[in-house]
Amino acid sequence: MNIQENRVVGLTYELKVSKNEDDIESAPFSVEIRDEEDPFYFIFGQSGLPEKFEELLSGKEDGEDFSFVISVEEAYGEPDEELLITLPKEQFSGERGFSHDMLKEGEFLPLMDENGYSMQAKVMKDLGENLLLDFNHPLVGFELHFEGKIIEVREASKEEIAHGHVHGEHGEHEE
């Protein structure tokens, strides 16, 4: 069975990233591995990953290997300066579930937007009473190098399509 709209896809992969700075490309370094113990399952058309990722998998079959690079522009783009935001440190109190260690430079803060969706911000600088936070995607500015194997392709159930995620052993809900 091949990968197309409304099919459940299971993958194992290694994701490496590289950056081009001053026309010098950094060597790709590994940032995520999804192996047989922890495969990545999604409904094709609803992965939440860059469109190019699904486009490059389209039509491939169960058991097929894949290897491709997604450019910065087709991945998460360049950093957006408007997503660097200064917020009062008092908003990240212990009563709200934040510890002092979480507010250190380089740490990622687990946050929610006004609609209740999970998001994260990287602490860029401690400005005393305020924190400079970066709300850009962590992989913004990077080329994405995917190498992996398709381990399962099946029809998505009506419920999975309606809910937008995979159910069962590899999904959000055990059946």
Taking the domains of the chain in order of start, what are their residue ranges?
7-75+141-163, 81-134
Q: What does pTM read for this prediction?
A: 0.80
Residues 104-149: tens digit of each pLDDT: 999 999 988 888 888 899 999 999 999 999 999 999 999 999 999 9
Residues 69-84: tens digit of each pLDDT: 999 999 999 999 999 9
- In the beta sheet, which residues pair with residue 66? 148
Averaged pLDDT of the chain: 91
Q: Is the dihedral of CA 130, 139, 77, 39 positive or negative?
A: negative
What value, to the nearest 5°, has the Cα angle with vertex 54 and ends 3 and 121?
140
Domain 7-75+141-163 -> CATH class? alpha beta
Type and span of the H or E element at 54: helix 51-57
Fold of 81-134: Thrombin, subunit H (2.40.10)
What value, to the nearest 5°, has the Cα angle with vertex 134 and ends 54 and 80?
60
Domains 7-75+141-163 and 81-134 share a fold: no
Top pLDDT among 30 and 175 is at 30
